[in-house]
Structure 1
Amino acid sequence: MTDTFLSGRTALVTGSTSGIGLGIAQALAAAGARVAINGLGDQAQVDAALAAVRDAGAADVRHFNADLRDPAAIETMMAEIDAWSPLDVLVNNAGIQHAVPLAEMPVGKWDDIIAINLSATFHTMRLAMPGMAARGFGRVINVASVHGLVGSVNKAPYVASKHGVLGLGKVAALEYAAAGSRDSGGVTVNAICPGWVETPLIEPQIEARRDGGSRDDGVRALLAEKQPSLRMTLPAEIGALATWLCRREAHNVTGAAFPVDGGWSAQ
């Protein structure tokens, strides 16, 4: 029997119409939560994501649209979600990147990456966390990246934004550490730092490295440079970790960053 310990709780997962975000939304749904999803895609993709989260067991699921580059749009979205059901769990997963050398990075790309990856995280947290503290329970889970822990060439705004997400989370964890109690569950802020995750977006990179071999050969070739395990993580596995962080027993797990990177950041 599924442990529906999040029954009666409401979660928002940004960037959850596909990939890691959808995997997290499904995991929270399986634990009994009402789930607000947010993300890009046409109506067919949004409908498919809603159906996937509903089928996973969500008590209710709705899509809330917002351009995460726009603080006013974020405020509107957060107010709409609060009117639907106040947030208990906030997962900041939305993110973009653009890989070119520092000197060639378009200023607009820098601005968009910082806005979506870092500033939107700040805005959702500042709007959601006071209510969490007042109710004595809240979970903020920021999906950073292994690039919040280490650098890589040609990813200046992405690496800067993900390092910023970890620092922001530490400050919020300290500010809210005493909110609530062991019995209520407290308010915690943590980050998950994935390395390579198996999503449709990386299939072309796998294909490009197969060199006539199997798909597994392509995966190993892709990961060989940085991820010692030579295996990718599944979105559902990131979802399982995020869901565990929501448990009441995790009330003293706060301000932490959890690498899920097959040993990448241990090197």
Structure 2
Amino acid sequence: MAEYDLCAIVTGSASGLGAASARLLAADGARLVINYSSNRKDAEATAEACRNAGAAEVLVVQGDVSRDQDCNRIVAAAASWGKLDVLINNAGITKHVPHHTLEGLSADDFQQIYAVNTIGPYQMIRAARSLLEANVQACGVTAAVVNISSVAGINGDGSSLAYVASKGALNVMTLSLAKALAPAIRVNTVCPGYIDTSWYAKGCGEARAKEVRDAITEKAALKIVSSAMDIAHLVHFLASSASSHMTGECVRMDAGLHLVR
């Protein structure tokens, strides 16, 4: 990825897409902050996998990105590096509400989901801005922020209306931040479709998760479902110098499901 020490923070990286993205950065010899909100056991397992993959240094930091003070603490863990090349805003939550039933969501649900999915990335970028800008001074290379959104924020179809709205807001916020932070910091967003991880099963149960997986495999133009590592390769590209001429982009990756909706 680069000839200098790569420094990165990945929020919500105890499992799933965050963990897969961290492992790819580890293979570049990166210094990494692995962040988790409540699952320290999985975060430590991710950290060990990153060390085995070649990471130069791995720090595990607890923090809820909906809390501004936690965002500052997560970033402070990387302060001794003097710069930050990559920030991946992966932490996210939802509430599964079948068929977008309006009665299934309260104002508190909206506020909690927005706090993590939309305000969280904003607070992380604000907290990390000086370290990201220091990257240009230290290395002459533009820093990269990669926000993890969802196709739900494009097509309006997701686990709940609050989740859909939070990801749509994140997509638009990416455009504003890309303008505000250029030229020192690039800001792009990945919009995955269904990812075959335990996240959906935890919300809806194994049986429903299998139904969704089978249905998407049948409907998607490419007749496949994506793994966390499949999407992580796109995240890695947007974090790398290979995408150095890209900013303000929302890149969809859904195995062609949108072609047949």
Q: TM-score, normalised by structure 1?
A: 0.84
- Whether the 8 Å contact between 1:10 and 1:88 is mirrored in structure 2 is yes
CA deviation after TM superposition for structure 1 residue 135, in Å: 3.2
- 1:1-267 matched pairs, under 5 angstroms: 5=2, 7-100=4-97, 101-136=101-136, 137-152=142-157, 155-179=160-184, 187-203=185-201, 207-208=206-207, 219-224=213-218, 227-266=220-259, 267=261
Which letter maps to 1:83?
S
Task: Provide structure 2 residue ranges, at least 5 long, that are not aligned to the other structure.
Answer: 137-141
Identity of aligned residues (%): 30
CA contact (8 A) 2:7 2:81 kept: no
- The CA deviation at 1:219 is 3.1
3-state DSSP of counterpart to 2:36:
coil
| Structure-2 separation of matches of 1:64 and 1:40 | 9
Matching residue of 1:182? none
Q: 1:242 to 1:218 in 2, by over 3 A?
A: closer
* SS in structure 1 at match of 2:78: helix
Aligned to 1:5, what secondary structure does the other structure show? coil
Q: Deviations over 1:74-99 (max 9, x none)?
A: 12222232235532100000101012
Q: TM-score, normalised by structure 2?
A: 0.86
Contact kept in structure 1, 2:87 and 2:145, CA below 8 Å? yes
The alpha carbon displacement at 1:206 in A equals: 8.7
Cα contact 2:40–2:62 (8 A) shared by 1: no
CA distance in 2, matches of 1:134, 1:84: 10
1:41–1:126 distance in 2 versus 1, CA, 3 Å: closer
Higher helix share: 2
Flag the 1:55–1:158 CA change in 2: closer, same or farther, 3 A: same
Rounded Cα–Cα distance in structure 1 between residues aligned with 2:231 and 2:35? 18
- RMSD across aligned positions (CA): 2.5
